[in-house]
Chains A and B, each alone.
Chain A
Amino acid sequence: MGDEGVGNAIIEDFEKKKSRFQGVDFLDLGTSGPNLIHAIAGRKKAILVDCSLQGSAPGTIRRFKPEEVREKTGLPHLSLHQGDVLGLIELSKQLGECPEEIIIFGIEPEKVGVGEGLSETLKSKLSYYVKIIEKDLVGA
């Protein structure tokens, strides 16, 4: 993975200091697709962090809610590992299990595809991303 692994990198950082955030679980959901439904079920708040193609400059982080975006991929359930995030959130809502609040942090990649490690652009901004996301954890 290239910059698609930015979510993993951020979670790894939070794991090191998770004792500071009582009542918060940091989960690396990897490519587990439908398991997102189980992970967020019954929670008060869910913050999803992932690489996201948003038409922004590489490295840009944007905070948004599911209702503020529309999926462009166009192929529901392209694979089990894509998981159709917005569709699964909708499923969770319809099942009455959805958290009161869902926040998504999308980070524009510089490079995606076969390979190892984040691009320098994203790597250099990792601590910045963590600081931004932390604000949503305070009082969570």
Chain B
Amino acid sequence: MPKIIDINVHHVTRVEGHGNIVVKASDGTVQKAEWQVPEAPRFFEAMVRGRSWEDIQTIVSRICGICSITHSLAAIKAIENAMDIQVSEQTDKLRILTHYSEQLQSHILHVGYLVAPDLFNVKSVVPLVASHPEAVKTIIKLHRIANTWSDLLAGRTTHPVTFKPGGFTKLPLENELRDLKETLQGIVPDLKTVADVVLSVADRLPNFSRPTEYIALVQPGVYTFYHGDIGSTDTSDRVPISKFETVVNEYVTPQSTAKWTKWHRPSYAVGALARFNLNGDLLNPLAAQVAKSFGLKKGCANPFMNSVAQLVEAVHVVEASLQIIDELLAKGIKQEPIKAAPKSGVGVGCVEAPRGILFHRYAFDKNGICTGANICIPTNQNHGNIQKDIEAFVPQIIDKEPDQIRLLLEMLVRSYDPCISCSTHFLNVEFI
């Protein structure tokens, strides 16, 4: 066992955004184990003040390029809540169908591009083309289909343009929905392929567990991503989303530019594993089979199994989408005039982002101008739990070599699929 452990991961790769891991130990005693978030604040809550109710969802969709549909939907639900705007059953179903496209896209991207390299001992997905060509091609195919699905319903893959308070600016044609149905039926075997490949290396997921409070949306009879109340594994009480601030209890901590949250315990977790732990008995049949094949059961407190729960959900949302398409086609797609007018009010919208429960709150004046906003994102809510997991996990692995410790902690962080923030990008090259 190394005497001195001094690990400084600056920044963790294969996550969205920037986060650091710091571990210092001596002779087996851990002196410091920290998850630090140095990401700069984004100021969206300030940006939307003074903006029209009709612009909010467009602006806040830019919070993220991966869950832009989710942010748009949360915003629109909040606006409709604030202004008592009702939507039709058709609009509701189409929004959920669109939302599912992003769940598939995000989960496949995370499991395939970001987590898989760890399970196969490579640094990125590129080397996997040589060793597992069919699996990589399948991942890319699924990701591509999910993008096309988003294009159809949201107008484009990133930053939707068809959503507005009260309805859609453009509806899909019925033959487009039939084509989508055929495509989704076609990818069920592909999802099974990916599940089988991950199952073949699932024993490489660390066997670490820590009693954790899990929080997600709950709705009777539905494995929900869209409607419901706030549920917790620590209580059977359910909290209406309008009272989300009593659940998240955000606070500032010196090691992070992102706030932390707590409810019944010093931290809690959100995301696919949280949804599974609260709603797992409501999965669609094929998804339930995939969960069973991995031995994933309600009550699982191993954060590394979040990626497995994402895979299960990828199957679930495809099954659920096929059902929704049938329901939409049975009634036919109808052109619906949007009836929405601004008025003063305060509203909350809540949806499950791929990474966990997301809350948007807005206040508007009588002209529909935003006077205030509060947005609490899932990764925010996971930071404190990542810290607690690191504190519990490090002593269990402190005897390993520093490189192994570093990798395991990076895998732990990646398992949460954190979406820390968007950042700038550029190529940094040297000529050869």
Contact = CB atoms under 8 A, between A and B. Distances in A.
B137 A77 contact: no
Contact of A78 (B11, B109, B431): B11
Interface of A: 1, 4, 30-35, 37-38, 41, 50-55, 64, 68-73, 75-87, 90-91, 94-95, 104, 106, 109, 112-114
B16 A53 contact: no
Contacts of B423: 31, 79, 81-82
Which 5 A-B pairs have CB atoms at the shortest separation, nearest pair first? Answer: A76-B124, A94-B129, A69-B429, A52-B427, A51-B426
B73 interface: no
Contact of A109 (B137, B144, B426): B426
B428 A73 contact: yes
Given A55-B430, A70-B430, A79-B15, 5 more contacts: A52-B427, A69-B430, A76-B13, A91-B136, A95-B133
Contact of B428 (A30, A52, A90, A113): A52
A79 B428 contact: no
B422 A70 contact: no
B424 A53 contact: no
Given A69-B430, A112-B426, A84 B124 contact: yes
A32 B425 CA distance: 10
A125 B16 CA distance: 33
Contacts of A50: 425-427
Which residue, B15, B136, B140, B144, has most C-beta atoms of chain A within 10 A?
Answer: B140
Contact of B426 (A34, A52, A64): A52
B66 interface: yes
13 contacts: A4-B424, A4-B425, A32-B158, A35-B147, A55-B430, A70-B430, A71-B428, A79-B13, A94-B129, A94-B133, A95-B133, A106-B429, A112-B426
A79 B17 contact: yes
A91 B129 contact: yes
Q: Is the interface of A mostly helix, strand, loop or mixed?
A: loop
A55 B425 CA distance: 17
Q: Bin the interface of chain B by size.
A: 35 or more
B356 to A, nearest CB: 17
Interface string B233-247: 000000000000000
A75 B12 CA distance: 9
Nearest to A74: B428
B330 interface: no
B65 A77 contact: no
Contacts of B407: none
B140 A82 contact: no
A38 B424 contact: no
Contacts of B40: 114
Nearest to A89: B126
Given A31-B425, A81-B65, A87 B124 contact: yes
B210 interface: no
B427 A71 contact: yes
Interface in B88-121: 109, 113-114, 117
Nearest to A29: B158
Nearest to B139: A34
B1 interface: no
